[in-house]
Amino acid sequence: LKTTLGMSWFTESMRAGRPVEILDKHELQVVLPDKEQFLMPSYACQRLTPLESHNNKFTEALSLLAENAELNNEEGRAVAFRRAAAVLKALPVMVTSATQLRGLPCLGEHSQRVIKDIIENGVSNEVESTMHSERFKALKLLTGIFGVGAKTADRWFKEGIQSLTQLVHSGHELNPAQQAGLEHYHDLNQPVTKAEAEAIGDIVRRVVLDVLPGSEMTLTGGFRRGKMTGHDVDFLITHPDEGKETGLISKVVSLLTAQGLLLYQKTTRNSYMENKGRLAQPSSTMDRFERCFCIFKLEIKEMRPDKDWRAVRVDLVVAPISQYAFAVLGWTGSKLFERELRRWASQVKSMSLSSHALFDIKQCKYLRTTSEEEIFSHLGLEFIPPTERNA
């Protein structure tokens, strides 16, 4: 207790007669000044995080600092800000005073300072100056090009490139993904609506069933968590007879290309192999499924003066049925929720979780399942429905 919360918080709580109950080492019952009690466990995968938060102004500020840290390749800092933002997202009340922050997990000194600034002054100077800095604006613009990551954007910024026009005139040779990203820059930076995602789903599903009758397809990513817009559309495909799905993606891509529906595509084959000798597979963020990252040409109903279609980023991923539950869980997100699930698995349960499998390191065996519910159960967690995974 002393090490996790600090003695002063504890003694102060006792003196003030605030009930404090340690349920187990990962669950802490905190009582807010208005006497509302709730649980705020420290791993995001132990709590419900709905889409709508009571603390948007804080979470947006912390997310911006996280994004800035990501653009600066400071991953540790970025995750700390993301975890702090996630705690405030899960809080069932709006924070109006710094005393409410006491006892909450994952709020480091830096995040607390930002929250206090906003409580006291309405804004955080650090957030304001970051948001308006030339560097942040340029890196955000450049990483907004599909195929451009933080490192490339940073290199270009150091060469003085701060706009798309400057990039075009710089003479840099862009790879095919970046060329497509630049060409469709405007469309790809417009949010994709649920209706657009479903329209693409109908087209792709028809092609998938043509190629392999009996296939199943699920809309994953943010849309499965209840979001009404997203930056892309993520689909997972499988077939009840294991093995039949092999090679499916290249046939689907050929048909979509023949219909003129793909503006760009990059297909990769499945490279996953179970290997007990290596103990756990790395629980990395990237999986090894057969997949296609593409830019879809979607016909739009309302005629625009210049064109009657828009470009949309679409990910098509194929998983064997035996790995499907893991793939659905891994592709539903949010990114932080997934990261926290993997951290919980390894730190608390000595297991390695990926979008392919769950490996019990102590028992040296894979834990097979056919549903997300069973995976949570293997991990000793309450089931969290997709719409509550918006950490």
Complex with Mg ion: residue 222 or 320, whichever CB lies closer: 222
Tell me whether residue 232 is one of the annotated catalytic residues: yes
Q: Which of 70, 154, 196, 232 binds Mg ion (CB under 5 A)?
A: 232
Complex with ligand DCT: residue 124 or 390, whichever CB lies closer: 390
Binding of Mg ion by 234 (CB under 5 A)? yes
Min separation Cβ 226 and Mg ion, Å: 13
Min separation Cβ 246 and Mg ion, Å: 25
Please pick, among 154, 187, 234, 287, the residue that the annotation labels catalytic: 234
Q: Is 306 a known ligand-binding residue? A: no
CA 309/CA 203 separation, integer angstroms: 14
CA 329 to chain centre: 12
The residue whose two tokens read 């840099």 is 172
Please pick, among 34, 154, 202, 232, the residue that the annotation labels catalytic: 232
Q: Which of 41, 105, 147, 230 binds Mg ion (CB under 5 A)?
A: 230
Please pick, among 34, 187, 210, 315, the residue that the annotation labels catalytic: 315
Min separation Cβ 41 and ligand DCT, Å: 20
Give the one entry of Mg ion, ligand DCT, none that residue 335 binds, where binding means its C-beta sits below a cut-off of 5 to 8 angstroms depending on kind.
ligand DCT
Where helices occur in the chain by DSSP H, the ranges are 2-5, 7-15, 56-71, 75-90, 109-121, 125-131, 134-143, 150-158, 164-169, 176-183, 185-188, 194-211, 221-224, 248-258, 324-332, 335-349, 372-378
Complex with ligand DCT: residue 154 or 340, whichever CB lies closer: 340
Q: Is 154 a known ligand-binding residue? A: no
Tell me whether residue 287 is one of the annotated catalytic residues: no
Complex with Mg ion: residue 230 or 320, whichever CB lies closer: 230
Buried b (16+ CB within 10 A) or exposed e, 32-52: beeeeeeebbbbbbbbbbeee
Give the one entry of Mg ion, ligand DCT, none that residue 338 binds, where binding means its C-beta sits below a cut-off of 5 to 8 angstroms depending on kind.
ligand DCT
Q: Which of 147, 221, 320, 330 binds Mg ion (CB under 5 A)?
A: 221
Q: Is 232 a known ligand-binding residue? A: yes
Which residues sit at the interface with ligand DCT, rule CB under 6 A?
Answer: 221-222, 227, 230-232, 234, 285, 330-331, 333-335, 338
Give the one entry of Mg ion, ligand DCT, none that residue 227 binds, where binding means its C-beta sits below a cut-off of 5 to 8 angstroms depending on kind.
ligand DCT
Nearest to 382 by CA among 26, 76, 16, 4: 26
DSSP H helix total and E strand total for the chain: 17, 13
Complex with ligand DCT: residue 103 or 333, whichever CB lies closer: 333
The residue whose two tokens read 């509550």 is 388
CA distances from 123 to 60, 80, 119, 131, 376 (A): 11, 20, 8, 12, 39
Per DSSP, the three-state class of 65 is: helix
Residue pair 327/317 in contact (Cβ under 8 Å)? The answer is yes
Stretch that binds Mg ion, among 95-103, 228-236, 256-264, 295-303 (CB under 5 A): 228-236
Binding of Mg ion by 338 (CB under 5 A)? no
Complex with Mg ion: residue 256 or 314, whichever CB lies closer: 314
- List Cβ neighbours of 29 (8 Å cut-off, separation of 6 or more): 19, 20, 21, 22, 23, 37, 38, 39
309-318 and 233-238 as β-strands: parallel, antiparallel, unpaired? Answer: parallel
Residue 261, sorted as left (phi over 0), alpha (psi -120 to 50) or beta, turns out to be: alpha
Give the one entry of Mg ion, ligand DCT, none that residue 334 binds, where binding means its C-beta sits below a cut-off of 5 to 8 angstroms depending on kind.
ligand DCT
Active site residue ranges:
232, 234, 315
Q: Which residues are annotated as a binding site for Mg(2+)?
A: 232, 234, 315
